[in-house]
Amino acid sequence: MEVFVPFSTDRPKSRLSGVLTPDERAAFAHAMLRDVLDAISGAGGEPRVLATGAVDADLPCPVTVDDRPLTDAVNAVLDARLGSGGKAEGDEEPVAVVMADLALATPESLRELFAAGREADVAIAPGRGGGTNALVVSRPEFRVDYHGASYLDHHRIADEIDASVAVVDSHRLATDADEPADLAELLIHAEADDEADGGRAARWLRDAGFALDATDGRVGIGRE
Ligand SMILES: Nc1nc2c(ncn2[C@@H]2O[C@H](COP(=O)(O)OP(=O)(O)OP(=O)(O)O)[C@@H](O)[C@H]2O)c(=O)[nH]1
Ligand SMILES: C[C@H](OP(=O)(O)O)C(=O)O
């Protein structure tokens, strides 16, 4: 299955600006992207980065550059892959879209997503807060509408075309690294899965001096 990974190269991760400088946000975003690409390959998917601009590093997969807003760029991909390309309806291989900031994604969690996407017309892994962290689409009429409560919007869009929806209830796929509190989530699970050392993103955070901090009884992050 082809798996498109949207990746913003300009001012990525602005909601982390209170804890990371612009260069640090770019480096951290890149570390997460690499982890997500590895997890997709580990799950048997074929990753393709869908970037807003040239990616300033070697990546282990093809990169498509499309500087349109996220929704338009993803819809162009869905149209190209599932649209009237001469295939009979029902013959299309599903297409997946997995965000580049799912730093906890594992091959197992993505295999579950891909399997759901082979059973239903649309499979959605919601993000906390109403986003759509990952989805798999096999119906050519389906279109994405990201931002806001996109999880609800994607249910509505699927209903409008009478498409079946599978919801993938996965803590790992629901955790996107948007806010400083999400960095604590990443460090917690990296520590629990320690044989893999938590991947590049968790290593990047540790090397940058971040650690869990529970001094006031709640778990957060601190930096040396
Ligand atoms: N191709 C593409 N990817 C995008 C665009 N905007 C965001 N992304 C990617 O989509 C995923 C979800 O992005 P968000 O969390 O909404 O935005 P972000 O830029 O990562 O972070 P914030 O600036 O804090 O909102 C991430 O993988 C981003 O790299 C865009 O306009 N085009
Ligand atoms: C792209 C957007 O991501 P969020 O801003 O919720 O992280 C969404 O999932 O609709």
CATH 3.40.109.10 fits 2-174, yes or no: no
pLDDT above 90 covers a percentage of the chain that reads 84
Q: Is the pLDDT of residue 196 over 60?
A: no
Q: Is the pLDDT of residue 158 over 90?
A: yes
- Ligand 2 pocket, Cβ-based, cut-off 6 angstroms: 70, 127, 129, 131-132, 146-147, 150, 176, 178
Per domain, the residue ranges of the chain are 2-174, 180-223
**Which DSSP string do the residues of the chain spell out, in sequence order?**
-EEEEEE--SSTTGGGTTTS-HHHHHHHHHHHHHHHHHHHHHTT-EEEEEESS--SS--SS-EEE--S-HHHHHHHHHHHHHSSSSPPTT-PPPEEEE-TT-TT--HHHHHHHHHHHHHSSEEEEEPTTS-EEEEEE--TT-----SSSHHHHHHHHHHHTT--EEE---HHHH----SHHHHHHHHHHHHHTGGGTTHHHHHHHHHTTEEEE-TTSS-EEEE-
Which of 52, 132, 135, 145 to mutate to test ligand 2, by most ligand atoms within 8 A of the CB atom? 132
Which pLDDT belongs to residue 87? 54
Grade residue 180 by pLDDT with cuts at 50, 70 and 90.
very high
What is this structure's pTM?
A: 0.96
User: Could you tell me if the CB of 12 is within 6 A of ligand 1?
Assistant: yes
**pLDDT tens-digit map of 49-86:** 999 999 988 899 999 999 999 999 999 999 999 986 54
- Mutate which of 3, 5, 7, 8 for ligand 1 pocket (most atoms within 8 A of beta carbon): 8
Q: What is the pLDDT at residue 89? A: 58
Q: Per residue in 10-41, pLDDT tens?
A: 888 999 999 999 999 999 999 999 999 999 99
Q: Is the pLDDT of residue 157 over 70?
A: yes
Ligand 1 atom with the shortest distance to the CA of 73 = 1
pLDDT given for residue 190 in this prediction: 84
